[in-house]
Amino acid sequence: MSTTASNKRFQKINLITIVLLFVLILAGGVVRSSGSGMGCPDWPKCFGRYIPPISSADLPKDYKQKYVDQRLAKNQRFAKTLDVFGYSELARRIREDRSILIPEEFNAGRTWTEYVNRLIGAISGIFLLLSAIYGVSYWGKDKKITILSILNLILVGFQGWLGSIVVSTNLVAWIVTVHMLLALAILALCIYTYHLAKVYGNSKLNTSPLIYVITVVTLLLSILQITFGTEVREKIDAVATHFQGGYRNKWVVNAGEIFAHHRDMAILVFIINIVLYALIRKRFNRHSIHQQLMSFNFLMIMLQIVTGILLSYSALPPVAQAAHILLASLIFGAQFYLLLNLHQSVNVRGVSK
């Protein structure tokens, strides 16, 4: 295969990977909102099978104790890792957590929800591997593409391990936030390498510094808002546990200060996006990628507001939770790609993109 053909193949694979990552974020949101994280108690198989069971009659003998023992062993290994990095108090809490000894009851719906999530994750991993392989073809043109594609593959491996810790431990709330931020980092690297491959070459700022700075600030605020969102979810989980899964209409009310921060930040994000939209419309024509991205971004924000209202006033419906996470990721992706496109890039033939 020629170098040019490899380059084109990389771009196609990378684009498919970006789409798959958004689908994976949605699937992860469905798993999270439906409480299906332990639907498959083992890995990489599910109840010891490549195709999960559909009824309790198909379950392995003594499966509850078997998988509780496996979960306990995993948490003990994680506690040792925390000891190494100086988090002795957290390690102690994990070792003394008795809640993990309570076995999960089999639920076919949750099992298959988690299985589909894993399947999408596996397919995404394969495409990230292919991106790293075909990214080597850019070594002589732009080494960043090759290096970042390989780095992304490593990050995905770490993300998979971190995901297993998220569902295995009940006490490490901040891991959920790190897990989400790492997912955004993987997505950003894919978008960045795709952009570099499309318009590799010299680059210079193609807009006013004011627009660029506001775009950076807008992106940072979106990341902060997503971080607040994951912390809200952790607080909601704690409230739900306190009410033993009942009284859903009281969960948001009892979420406390972090929910107020998340709501107030949403207003700030909305305002700064209006300002950015006005500046982009003034600087670029309506057929430009910049206006198209900003229009898409604004549509996602409006839908995000709708799902936020549903979550606040309709007792946190799971469908709205999953949509809320996906929309936040789409907003982040659009803003990041807009930032990249605020540079004029020239390919090897010198044609402005």
Place of tokens 């299985």: 115
Q: Are residues 70 and 184 in the same domain?
A: yes
Q: What confidence category does residue 350 fall into, taking pLDDT thresholds of 50, 70 and 90? A: very low
What is the pLDDT averaged over residues 309-317? 79
E strands in the chain: 203-205, 343-345
For residue range 2-11, list pLDDT tens digits in order. 557 777 889 9
Counting residues of the chain whose pLDDT is more than 70, the rounded percentage is 88
Q: Are residues 205 and 315 in the same domain?
A: yes
pTM of the predicted model as reported, rounded to 2 decimal places: 0.86
Q: Say which CATH number the domain at 226 has.
A: 1.20.120
122 close to 23: Cβ distance less than 8 angstroms: no
Give the residue, 59 or 326, on which the prediction is more confident: 326
Q: Are residues 126 and 239 in the same domain?
A: no
Q: What confidence category does residue 165 fall into, taking pLDDT thresholds of 50, 70 and 90? A: confident
What is the pLDDT averaged over residues 63-88? 84
Look at residue 309 in the predicted model and tell me its pLDDT: 87
CB atoms within 10 A of CB 111: 22
Six-digit token string for 150:
């390989």
pLDDT surpassing 90 at residue 295 = yes
Of 193-202, 220-229, 342-351, the range with the lowest mean pLDDT is 342-351
Which domain covers residue 323, as residue numbers?
200-353
For residue range 116-135, list pLDDT tens digits in order. 999 999 999 999 999 999 98
Q: How far is Cα of residue 163 from the mean position of the Cα atoms in its chain?
A: 11
Q: How many domains does the chain have?
A: 2
Q: Are residues 167 and 51 in the same domain?
A: yes
Q: Are residues 189 and 42 in the same domain?
A: yes
Q: Give 235: exposed, middle or buried? Use CB within 10 Å, 0-12, 13-18, 19+.
A: buried
Q: What DSSP line would sit under 78-109, residue for residue?
A: HHHHHHHTT-HHHHHHHHH--GGGSPPPP-HH
What is the pLDDT averaged over residues 49-78? 84
Look at residue 303 in the predicted model and tell me its pLDDT: 94
Q: Are residues 237 and 170 in the same domain?
A: no
> Which residues, in sequence order, are CB contacts of 112 under 8 Å at separation 6+?
39, 52, 54
Q: Are residues 84 and 179 in the same domain?
A: yes
Phi, psi of 46 (to 5 degrees): -125, 110
Q: Which of 1, 2, 4 is nearest to 347 (CA)?
A: 4
Q: Are residues 333 and 258 in the same domain?
A: yes
Q: Helix, strand, coil % (nearest 5) of the chain?
A: 75, 5, 20
Rounded Cα gap, residues 28 and 118, in angstroms = 9
pLDDT surpassing 80 at residue 302 = yes
Q: Are residues 150 and 207 in the same domain?
A: no
What is the pLDDT averaged over residues 147-160? 92
For residue range 244-267, list pLDDT tens digits in order. 666 666 666 666 777 777 888 899
Q: How far is Cα of residue 46 from the mean position of the Cα atoms in its chain?
A: 23
Six-digit token string for 83:
């000891």
Q: Are residues 166 and 27 in the same domain?
A: yes
DSSP state of 344: E
Q: Are residues 285 and 177 in the same domain?
A: no
Look at residue 100 in the predicted model and tell me its pLDDT: 76
